[in-house]
Structure 1
């Protein structure tokens, strides 16, 4: 039963990571409502790209930089917190609250299963 729960929560985690990229793009585009469309589009592309680079380097299970738990926690907080914040500021507060709640619940469940720690390698 524990394996099923862990596997399910890790799958949800992956979906949340992908959802955060979408939220960064949507929120980044919507945060500057009166701005030029080209710049809004560039922001919508740049934020998820930056998030992917940071996540892959400092927060992914097979990340190359493993010596800093502070970076591991910080990047996750920056990417997920930024996604929720930009989604709310960009005009989608209901989606932001829903996404944030699911992110917190998933993190707490994975932590309680011993599957949320910078020491874990997959």
Structure 2
């Protein structure tokens, strides 16, 4: 069971990386001049990083969130990234990313890997 719990935490980390990748990809594929795409490809993930560092980081976020606020943070954070992935690639990819996050979140709660 500990291997599955470790794998679930790995999936969470990979999902966090996917959020940044989705933001970069979206910024790079927007229908706009090149300088705007470069700006968005840098700014979009920067916004995600700042929000996660302030509110959602695993180790000592500046403003830790618990309970329904943590749930809302993750739904908004991963949901926004899923929308960006859907816009940049395909809607199915965004839905799959959100579904993987949802299963991961439920498992984190069931296995006590996430305190609410």
Q: Which runs of 5+ in 1 are unaligned?
A: none
**Residue in structure 1 matched with residue 75 of structure 2 by the alignment:** 77
TM-score, normalised via structure 1 length: 0.81
**Residue in structure 2 matched with residue 23 of structure 1 by the alignment:** 22
SS in 2 for 1:116: coil
Q: CA deviation at 1:6?
A: 1.4
| Mapped partners of 2:44, 2:72: distance in 1 | 16
Count of aligned pairs: 114
Measured at CA, do residues 12 and 91 of structure 1 come closer, stay the same or move farther in structure 2, by a change above 3 Å?
closer
**Residue in structure 1 matched with residue 46 of structure 2 by the alignment:** 49
| Mapped partners of 1:65, 1:91: distance in 2 | 33
Measured at CA, do residues 19 and 91 of structure 1 come closer, stay the same or move farther in structure 2, by a change above 3 Å?
closer
| Mapped partners of 1:83, 1:71: distance in 2 | 18
| Mapped partners of 1:6, 1:81: distance in 2 | 23
TM-score, normalised via structure 2 length: 0.85
Runs of 4+ in 1 over 6 A off after TM superposition: none
Q: Which runs of 5+ in 2 are unaligned?
A: none
SS in 2 for 1:106: helix
**Partners of 2:22 and 2:88 within 8 A in 1:** no
Higher relative contact order (CA 8 A, sep 6+): 1
Q: CA deviation at 1:16?
A: 0.7
CA RMSD between the two structures: 1.8
